[in-house]
Amino acid sequence: MNTRDAALAKVRELSHFIGGKHVRGESGRFGDVFNPTSGALAAKAPLASRPEVERAIAVAKEAFAGWSETSPLTRARVMFRFKELIERHMDELALLISNEHGKVLSDAKGSIQRGLEVVEFACGIPHLMKGEFSDNISAGMDLYSIRQPLGVCAGITPFNFPAMVPMWMFPVAVACGNTFILKPSEKDPSCPLRLAELMLEAGAPAGVLNVVNGDKEAVDALLSDARVAAVSFVGSTPIAKYVFATGSVNGKRVQALGGAKNHMVVMPDADIEVAAEALMGAAYGSAGERCMAVSVAVPVSERTADELIEAMTPRIRKLKIGPSTDDSSEMGPLVTREHRDKVRGYVDLGVKEGASLVVDGRGFKVAEQPNGFFLGGSLFDKVRPEMRIYKEEIFGPVLSVVRAKNFEEALALPSDHEYGNGVAIFTRNGDVARNFTHKVNCGMVGINVPIPVPLSFHSFGGWKHSIFGDMNQHGPEGVRFYTRIKTVTSRWREGVNPGANFGMPLMK
């Protein structure tokens, strides 16, 4: 056996997880799963055909009959056990993420923790699903509302958070009494499959949480099947538009979260050292592969801009970039060779567009991993709003600096941008911060906080082309998304015949 054949022999063939067991793919089509640090092919993920997805939907629909009638208290206890299992297997899950996505281990564990917080929120489902009651609205008549699950729900999740984003979806959906089909990214599906195993171990009946690997064929099957009641999506804006339009026209409730171009405004009174440190983590953490990454810095005044560039430049050049499982690494590789080349192409484009490339990360290499998907951090100065590197989501370790003359100009940049996901301002002036928060046209705002991701008991979501649909993820909005309200008007009066009433019913 030659070296190439020996390497291919080590490649794992992954599965789907349907009805509480691993199911081998039948389509004959597979997606490649790489180890981004080495660049080696690590696994093959089956890409489900429409009939395979339909079988998963049938299993989930059958499981819904019993699960929806299970008491909220029992469902909460499953979530408590699931929480304990996630904590127990934290290191294992983080390693799966690092090996397939390229996040450094500390970042992988942090992302799991943020997902775990939603599980903790879902543990309170007996309280969260309480309805409202109005006593004696008329003689002997009461009025009350209850929340009930929708049925089979689906989640379509991106490669950048293979644990966190799925856990922003299915724990709330399942705790509300729904069953769930997760279609994770085919680039890093091992962690989602492991989460499904742990849910089963936690006591969720077979068929309550299913994982189907796939591409557009699987997505279209979920969006068009009448048995799927709701779809939650996170990914790029073009696909979010497609998911929202296709799911909605097929009668589904849809929340589709798209792209972002998050700005961080740095006012003249800000502590430049603090702002620079915040930008380092926000722009280059997870190699910039975050929908909440800060990809645009907006220093107000030429002096502020010069000081910020001076503070950022040596920090970017000293970034510790290396294998994702190396504890000394601050940034790992990008998820695939194709994505790395796409991000590198944006740096090429920025140079052509006339931006000033202060730090060039295109030539970065890790000597011991020459085939890894590594890219160094890049920093552009004097970027203009008409440039594509400003308009488009790069999704990599590239920070653009757009200089603003004053507060009004800085406020207008994120407010007028196509995307409206997150934004931050660094200042010591409370009046400026409050004014910015009130006026900026974005969904999530950070004041001296570079990545303002809400905690699980609030809801996550942006504005404009960063979201399609009326309800955000997790928190109270998540409960509302995965349930529907039923209002009951009830009368119990023995021996009373009110007679026929042909007018509008009135309460007296």
Residues labelled as active-site residues: 291
DSSP-based helix, strand, coil % in the chain, nearest 5: 40, 25, 35
Q: Give phi and psi for 149, each to the nearest 5.
A: -65, 160
Q: Is 267 helix (H, G, I), strand (E, B) or coil?
A: coil
Residue with tokens 């994120």: 414
Phi-psi map region of 286: left, alpha, beta (phi>0 left; psi -120 to 50 alpha): left
Task: Confirm if 63 and 71 have CB atoms less than 8 A apart.
Answer: no
Written as six digits, the tokens of 144 are 């009350």
- Strand partners for 153: 180, 230
Alpha-carbon span 353 to 347, nearest angstrom:
10
- Amino acid 135 reads D
Q: The tokens of 116 are what?
A: 């775990």
Choose among 48, 365, 42: nearest CA to 217: 48
Using alpha carbons only, give the angle 26, 30, 33 rounded to the nearest 5 degrees: 135
The length of the chain in residues reads: 508
Structure tokens at 19: 């009805």
Distance CA(397)–CA(340), nearest Å, equals 10
| C-alpha to C-alpha distance for 43 and 46, rounded to whole angstroms | 10
CA 356 to the chain's CA centroid = 32
